[in-house]
Amino acid sequence: MALVDLRGREDEPAVRALLACAHGSAPSVDRAAARYRTGEWVLIGWEEGGALVACAGVERGASGDIAMRSVAVVPERRGQGSGRALVDAVAGAATARRLVAETDEDAVGFYRNCGFSVERIEPRAGRARFRCARTIEPPAGSTAAVSAFTLGELERAIEESWGADTSDDPGEWSEVNPARGQCAVTSVLVRDLLGGEILIAGVLRDGERVERHAWNRLPSGLSLDLTRSQFRGGEELEEPEAGEPILADRVRCELLAERVRARLGGVT
């Protein structure tokens, strides 16, 4: 069971099916998917046995709270605790003080069962509405728990720092596909900055291994893959294992880290 970052996967059939459970009509799903693509909202998934069984849409609020914009569970797993497990995992990964949500009578019981306090607010369109809040207690002895929805600035800084000189495949790198060849150095940088471990898996195309791909599992358990966008369709990943990417030479790692520090004002 694991949290997964679903950014860049909004149009996959399994993801769209879950979005439909949360948002209903196709136009509503399209509007939500657009918000996930732009980064306005972040889509977090919950996998069990390698299958996507639930997802949550979240947004960082102006007050620093994490706003739950949607929670959906595949029909065959409802009533089995997958939704609550996802909410608990999001709470465990977040750096915010609270999770908040606004909902109606259909879903207020779910949030109450997930440990949210509930307050009735002004009705909307003739329907009762509720504001829900759950205080997040940081793990004992933790320093800076990190989650996908607190990584926006770092992700942008990394993406803007990629170039042919940080790629392990410079001949194939281009501004059209800036993530090409960046997985090794990016996974090392993310691990050095945020902790956790690097996951490595073979990439299969037409059943043959053509390369290896690296990404991160953060201390919170969140799987974070900032270079997945380099794939253009048709690739499959083998079962990952923790390890060190062979192609992450120190010169390119230090070059990427230097650029990222400059973009973040030296805060890394």
* pLDDT tens digits along 258-268: 999 898 876 55
Q: 172 is in which domain, residue-wise?
A: 151-263
The pLDDT of residue 137 is 72
Higher pLDDT, 211 or 178: 178
d(CA 264, CA 161): 11
Q: What percent of the chain has pLDDT over 70?
A: 89
Q: What angle do CA 147, 148, 151 make, to 5 degrees?
A: 95
Residues 160 and 232 in one domain: yes
Q: Is 254 a member of any domain? A: yes
- Those residues with Cβ within 8 angstroms of residue 244's Cβ, 6 or more apart along the chain or in another chain: 188, 198, 200
The pLDDT of residue 249 is 73
Of 80, 106, 135, which residue constitutes the final position of a domain? 135
**pTM of the model as a whole:** 0.57
Q: For residue 174, count other CB atoms closer than 10 A to its CB.
A: 10
pLDDT digits (tens, 9 = 90+) for 156-170: 899 999 999 999 888
pLDDT digits (tens, 9 = 90+) for 17-48: 999 999 989 999 999 999 888 777 888 888 88
Looking up residue 20, the CATH number of its domain turns out to be 3.40.630.30
How would residue 146 be classed by pLDDT, with cut points 50, 70 and 90?
very low
| Both structure tokens of 23 | 């948002």
d(CA 115, CA 121): 19
The pLDDT of residue 142 is 38
pLDDT digits (tens, 9 = 90+) for 63-111: 668 899 999 999 999 999 889 988 988 887 665 678 999 999 999 999 9
How would residue 4 be classed by pLDDT, with cut points 50, 70 and 90?
confident
The pLDDT of residue 37 is 84
The DSSP-derived string for 161-229 is H--GGG-S-TTT-BTTBTTTT-HHHHHHHHHHHH-SEEEEEEEEETTEEEEEEEEEE-TTS-EE-TTGG
Residues 121 and 201 in one domain: no
Calculate the alpha carbon distances from 1 to 52, 165, 202, 221 in Å.
Answer: 10, 37, 21, 9
d(CA 13, CA 203): 21
State how many domains the chain has: 2
pLDDT above 60: residue 149: no
- CA end-to-end span of the chain: 31
